[in-house]
Amino acid sequence: MSLVVWTDKLSVGVKSFDDQHTVLFEVINDLHAAMMKGQARAVIGPLLHSLVAYTRDHFAAEEEMMEAAKYPALPTHRINHRDLTQQVEEFVRRYDRGDITLGVELSSFLSDWLANHILNTDQKYGPWLNELGVR
């Protein structure tokens, strides 16, 4: 059973970013599935490291497109991205120190973060980019 489910309600109206968001949903669901099978410890490390890299790439792509489009809320969006990246990096540090209690907390954080970030932040840039012909 999936922890998070992609729906059209989450679409930002830019296909490339919607596709990237669905990959993030898959990563969260992979973690959740591993936890449900008692395999979280074996997958958390590799998943976290790939999540940090993927998130950085995704945020960079969003910010690059917003910068090219002169999106007025880009400075705030960058701060939000930086804060979220730092939170995920802290989970990586905890994992690397041997913290075995972070599975449920990480899963909850990621599912809440992703849905809230898309709904409350990312969906604001969609209309701006769409107005410029970005779909």
Please state the domain count of the chain: 1
Mean per-residue pLDDT over the chain, rounded: 89
Cα-based torsion angle of the residue sequence 78, 51, 39, 115 in order, rounded to the nearest 10 degrees: 40
Does residue 123 lie in a domain region? Answer: yes
**Residues 131, 116: Cα–Cα separation, whole Å:** 23
Q: Please, what's the b/e burial string for 16-31 (b: 16 or more CB within 10 A of its CB; e: otherwise)?
A: ebbebbeebbebbbbb
**CB atoms near residue 94 (< 10 Å):** 17
pLDDT (mean) for 82-92: 90
Residue tagged 């960058």 (tokens): 78
Is the pTM for the entire model greater than 0.85? yes
Which domain CATH number covers 54? 1.20.120.50
Return the structure tokens found at 95.
Answer: 């994992």
pLDDT (mean) for 4-14: 93
Q: Is the dihedral of CA 96, 117, 125, 127 positive or negative?
A: positive
Domain that holds residue 112: 15-128
Give the pLDDT of residue 95. 86
